[in-house]
Amino acid sequence: MRYFLLILFSISIFGFINGQEAEKQEIVIGHLDKVYSDSLAQWRELYIHLPKSYKKETFKNKKYPVVYLLDGEMHFDYTAGMIEHLSAFNERTAIPEMIIVGIKNKNRWKDLTPEKDPFFKIETGGSEKFTQFLEDEVMPHVHEKYRTSGKNSIVGHSLGGLFVIHTMMNSPKLFDNYLAIDPCLWWLSNKYLTDYLARFDKTDLNDKKLYFAIANSLLSGTDTTTIRNDTTVDSYHMRSMLTFKDDFYKCSMNHLKVKSKFYEDETHGSLPLIATYDALKFFYDDRRKIQHKGK
């Protein structure tokens, strides 16, 4: 009986100590990296998520595609969890494991807009330098420091969505997959939207994919057809996206693979999570079909 009580006491103490240790453990989904930008003349922080297999000896030579996430401080957590989940199964929803690079903002109005708009009192119109920062500093830094495959995706919401479309139209070779979530294509009274439309069928987008997600910002009493006849400022955002979407019929000329969706039950703020999920499946649709066929 004495030995039984001693063993029971030892197990209890061991469990208590292990419980305390467990309470101290942290669940970490990423780490902070930094890069100094000569083009921006400042340090910039990057949120980095590495796949679970990245540090395993079995996968020491494996290279991974990269997702560059604008507004990283807002969208990093759920994007990392989503990709970890979808890449963990060899099912129809499977996508490859990926490195995620969330780019933290300092002034998103400046970084993500292509030209200064005098209507806004804040600083705008710095996307040319921000593109240079991405192309010449962030992407080489990531490629040198981490095992990347050379396949790159970019995700942007709102002003970030505008930046995604602007990058696709002006630097199409920079990324393979483009996700524009409820983009602010109305910028500078549709000046850039008009430019994009004029060049859309003349821009070589072969082997590129675009997922174009539209939130429900319809005015009361309108739908996606009738709102096109509205001329008020309140419908400006919605009309600009629908106008760009109308030009997708030219995709056969520029070879872009595109999918767009109007999310009737989502707002501008709620859309990013579900749109990212749907876009990831679209970007890797061929991979999923192959895996499903093999079952």
Model confidence pLDDT, tens digit, residues 203-252: 999 999 999 999 999 999 999 999 999 999 999 999 999 999 999 999 99
pLDDT for the residue 160 = 98
Burial zone of 149 (CB within 10 Å; 0-12 exposed, 13-18 middle, 19+ buried): middle
- CATH classification of the domain holding 277: 3.40.50.1820
Residue at 186 is within a domain: yes
* pLDDT value at residue 288: 57
Residue 12 lies in a domain: no
pLDDT of residue 238: 97
**Residue partners of 53: CB distance under 8 A and separation at least 6:** 59, 62, 97
pLDDT for res 79: 97
pLDDT of the residue at 4: 47
Query: What's the pLDDT score for residue 285?
Result: 86
The count of domains in the chain is 1
Residues of the chain with pLDDT under 50: 3-10, 292, 294-295
Q: What is the pTM of this model?
A: 0.89
Taking the alpha carbons of 218, 163, 111, 181 in that order, is the dihedral positive or negative? positive
In a domain, 92, yes or no: yes
Give me 117's structure tokens: 């708009």
Q: Which residues pair with 49 in a beta bridge?
A: 100
Domain-embedded: residue 143? yes
Residue 18 lies in a domain: no
Kindly give, in sequence order, each residue whose CB lies less than 8 Å from that of residue 108, ignoring residues fewer than 6 positions away: 71, 159, 160
Exposed e or buried b per residue across 104-135, where buried means at least 16 C-beta atoms within 10 angstroms of its C-beta: bbeebebbbbbeeeeeeeeebbbbeebbbbbe
| pLDDT given for residue 295 in this prediction | 46
Residue 102 is encoded by which pair of tokens? 């969330």
Residue 123 lies in a domain: yes
**Is 20 a member of any domain?**
no
Rounded-to-10 torsion of CA 40, 43, 49, 55 = 120
- Expressed as residue numbers, the domain containing 125 is 41-293
pLDDT score of 254: 96
The reply to whether 204 falls in a domain is yes
Q: What is the pLDDT of residue 278?
A: 97
